[in-house]
Amino acid sequence: MFPPLQPITRTLILINVAVFLLEWVLPGLIQWCALWPLGPLFHPWQLITYAFLHEPNQLMHIVFNMFALYMFGGALELYWRERGAASFYVLYYFASVLAAAGTELLVLTQSKVVEPVIGASGGVFGVLLGFAWFFPRSKLIVLPIPVPVSAWLLVTIYGAIELWLGVTGRQDSVAHFAHLGGMLGGAIMILIWRSSNRGRTY
C-alpha cells in the first residue's frame, strides 16, 4: 500500500518534473543551472539548481529519484510534521543538496575533471539516510531480490557501494561522492535536530 503524498514532498516532485519538461524547451538550462567545477562555468546558484535537473534523454533517472523521494521523503516529512517541525524537513533536504554539491566540487577540483553534475540524487540519498535513521527496522525490498531487508542495513550497504564505486572510479558518469555528501549532510542535520531537541520525548 502506497503512503499518502505529503505536501512538501509533492511540491519538490512537481518542481523536478516541471524543470524536467522545461529542459526540452530550453536545452541551455543545463549549461546554466547544472553544477560545474569552480571556474568560468560555475555560478553560485548552481549549488541548488543542479538538484532540480535530470538528463532529458534518461527518463528513468528522474523516475527513480522521484519515486524514492515520494516513498522515503514523505515518511520523513510526516515524522517531523507530527512533531511540529515540518519546516525542518525543507532545511534537511536542502542541506543534503548543498552537502552533496560541496563534496562533488571538492572531488572535481582534485580530479581536474570539467563536467556538469545534475540530479536530485544528493538530496534523495540524504532522505534515505534520514529514513534509515528514524525507521531503522522498516523492511524494504530491492527488486529483483524478493528478500525484505532492514532499512538501516540496506542504506549502509548502499553507502558502502557508493564509496567503493567512487574510490575505484567505476561508473565514472555517476557522481558517487555527491551521493555520499548528501548522506553526510543529512547526518549532520539529524545531529543538529537531536541536540536542539534533547530532553524531549517523541
Instruction: Say yes or no to pLDDT of 1 above 60.
Output: no
pLDDT, tens digit, 9 for 90 and up, residues 189-200: 999 988 887 646
Instruction: Determine the pLDDT at residue 58.
Output: 87
* Cα separation, 27 vs 165, whole angstroms: 30
Contacts of 118 (CB under 8 A, 6+ apart): 30, 34, 35, 50, 53, 54, 55
Contacts of 48 (CB under 8 A, 6+ apart): 94, 97, 98, 101
Instruction: Determine the pLDDT at residue 201.
Output: 47
What are the C-alpha distances in Å from 170 to residues 114, 121, 185?
18, 17, 24
Helix crossing, 121-134 with 151-168: angle to 10°? 140
Instruction: Determine the pLDDT at residue 136.
Output: 93
Instruction: Say yes or no to pLDDT of 84 above 50.
Output: yes
Model-level pTM? 0.91
Given the candidates 3.30.160.40, 2.170.130.10, 3.30.70.380, 1.20.1540.10, the CATH classification of the domain at 7-196 is: 1.20.1540.10
Instruction: Determine the pLDDT at residue 115.
Output: 85
* Cα separation, 23 vs 33, whole angstroms: 11
pLDDT, tens digit, 9 for 90 and up, residues 104-162: 999 888 877 778 899 999 999 999 999 999 999 998 877 666 778 898 898 898 888 88
Contacts of 113 (CB under 8 A, 6+ apart): 37
